Every structure is written in structure tokens, then in C-alpha cells.
Amino acid sequence: MLLTVKTKLITNHDQKTSLLKTMERFNEACNLISVFAYKKKKFGKIALQKEIYYEIREKYGLSSQMVVRALGKVAESYKVDKKVLHEFNLHGSIVYDQRILAIKRPDLISILTLDGRIEVGIKYGEYRQLDYNRVRGQADLIYKDGTFYLMIVVELPDAEPIDPNGIIGVDFGIVNLAVSSDGKVYSGDKCTKVRQRYSKIKAILQHVGTYSAKKHLIKISGRERRFKKDTNHCISKEIVQTAKDTNCSIALEDLSGIRQRTTVRKAEREKHEKWAFFELRNFIEYKAKLLGVSVDLVDPRNTSRQCSVCGYTNKKNRKTQETFACLECGHTENADFNASKNIMLRAAVNRLMVFCLGN
């Protein structure tokens, strides 16, 4: 499995100046290449390299490999849209490869700049040491809020798949971010309060509209995203670890395109749009793969309206957001817990069908 590790560069004043100068020069070169590509209607990396490689080297003083990376960055951008001229921010990312970047130790890298190679310390929040023998392909140098970060792609071995003897169904929601069929509830109360607090602050800042207010608005948005991401990391880690400890697989609803398929009232729209179910699902899937836990996706239709005891499905079974009461057999319980058991049962049926077809 390929994962991206975000590492913070520990730079002194001279190193930061050198990296910043290199980044600006690199993106200046990208802009010149982009203008040339757009005018000549030549968007392939090889074609551009034949036409403009030596001009870029001479004009901007970049190394040969940095020119190649700049050509590649421009060519990649035009794969998406060739109808408009692409402009690159001077503090846009630089794509480094193993020719111009080397990891010397888990806490030290050697990176090429306009002033030659410099050795810079790195810091990251992963619980395991960075194994530089597993670094694969390219790494992106980014500059954010006055700090340089390196996004390093590493290859981690998949764990030996476990042979599950049970299934944990997980229902995603807004009031409860996740509810598992083993009875664990991950409440969304804290996330809702944080969202409401940030929304109130952002509304005030947007109304003010000054330069400092806009800067503070960006900072607030970043804090909210980090909080949401950390919450999803914690939930996914606990769900996957529980599955591993109990020798179970995990079943999730396949919610692809849920925003396009559902409509909500205007008052609930902000909650709906900020529901990070896809991020949570991705976190569960990659953490499960690392621990050898399998993840099954099931059809989400009527999981909240179907009785997990008798199977009767009716919209009126869902009395409230919290309460499920079957009109057929009288079974009552928490609506999200009922949905998580339906997800578990559908995954079990799918596994049984696969087994029967295979035999």
C-alpha cells in the first residue's frame, strides 16, 4: 500500500531563504513553459522538452532534473484542461524525485536548491520511524503558513489477511458519526458544537471583510479541517482495532454519490455538506488493510427503514432520528444501531452468496 507521510522541514533562516528562492524560480519556469505550451498547442512532456529545455536551463539556472520536473508539472496540468492558459502560483509545490532528494536518516534529508544541496532536518507525527528504503517515486515540497513540508510517498506492506469469524457493521451519520453493530456509538455532538462555533466566527469575519479578517478566516477554516480529520482518524482507528482484536471483518454502506442522490432542507444543508463520511470510510479502509482486516461495502438503500429482526421495510418504521419501531413485529431500538445490524446482515448474505457460487 502507498501512503503519503507529511513531514515538516526544520529550517534555519538561510535554508528557508534558499528553498523559497528555489520554489519561486521553479514556478516562474513553469509559467514560461505554460505560455509556450498554450501558444504552440504542444502539451506533451517530450515535445516540450525538445522545444524549450535549454532555454529554461539558461534563463532560470535550474538543474537539468529540476527543468524536467517543471516540464512534467506543466504537462500534467494540461491533461485536465487544454482550453485555458494555466498559471502557477510562485509558492506552488515543487515535485522532487530521488535524483534531487535523498533521505539520509529518518530525521534528515538532502534536498537540491539553487544554492546546491542542503541538509535539512524533518519532523513528522507518525508513530513509526520513516523507513527511507520504502520511499517510492516522487515527493512534493509545499509551502504553507511560512513553513515548508515534504509530502513523501512510502510503500507499506499489507498485513496477512485474517480469516474472520464475524462481521462488524458500521452505520455513518450526522448526529452520531458512526454506530457499530457491537453497540459502540461515536457521537457527533462535539463535532456539531465545533462546527457551529466556527460557522458563527466565519460569518462575522466574512461580514467584516478586511484583509486581516480574511487571513483569520483562512486560519479558522484550517483549524476546523484539522479537527474533523483528527476525529475521523480516532474513530477509524478504534473501529479497525476492535475488528482486529475480535477477528471480524468490517461492513460499511457504499455511500458513493450520496450528496447527489439526497436532498435536505436548507436549515440542514450545512451539516449535510460537511459530513465527512468519505474521508472516514477511506481512513477505515486503509487502516484495515494495514492490519489485514477485510472491508465489505453493501447497498445502503433502506438500511434505516428495514427491521433487523423480521426484515419488514417501511418509511414509517423510523419514528424519529433516534427511534426505530417496526410496524410489523413491534421491535424497537436505537435507529442507528438497527441500521448497523442491517449493514452487518447484508454483508453476511453477500459473503454467503459468494461462497455458494464458488462451490
pLDDT (tens digit per residue) in 231-242: 899 999 999 999
**What pLDDT is stored for residue 257 in this prediction?**
58
Q: How far is CA 4 from CA 17, 91, 117, 127, 262, in A?
A: 26, 21, 24, 14, 32
**What pLDDT is stored for residue 135 in this prediction?**
63
Neighbours of 285 (CB within 10 A): 16
**What pLDDT is stored for residue 198 in this prediction?**
79
**Architecture in CATH for domain 167-188+233-358:** 2-Layer Sandwich (3.30)
Regions of the chain short of the pLDDT cut 70: 125-137, 257-275, 359
Q: What's the gap between Cα 305 and its chain centre?
A: 31
Q: How far is CA 194 from CA 3, 231, 233, 278, in A?
A: 29, 12, 17, 20
Neighbours of 240 (CB within 10 A): 23
pLDDT in tens, 308-345: 999 999 999 998 888 999 999 999 999 999 999 999 99
CATH 3.30.420 residue ranges for the chain? 167-188+233-358
Measured CA to CA, the distance from residue 141 to residue 19 in angstroms comes to 9
**What pLDDT is stored for residue 35 in this prediction?**
96
**What pLDDT is stored for residue 265 in this prediction?**
53
**What pLDDT is stored for residue 192 in this prediction?**
76
**What pLDDT is stored for residue 76 in this prediction?**
93
**Cβ atoms 178, 236 nearer than 8 A:** no
Longest dimension (CA), the chain: 80
**What pLDDT is stored for residue 261 in this prediction?**
46
Per the prediction, the chain carries an average pLDDT of 86
**What pLDDT is stored for residue 131 in this prediction?**
58
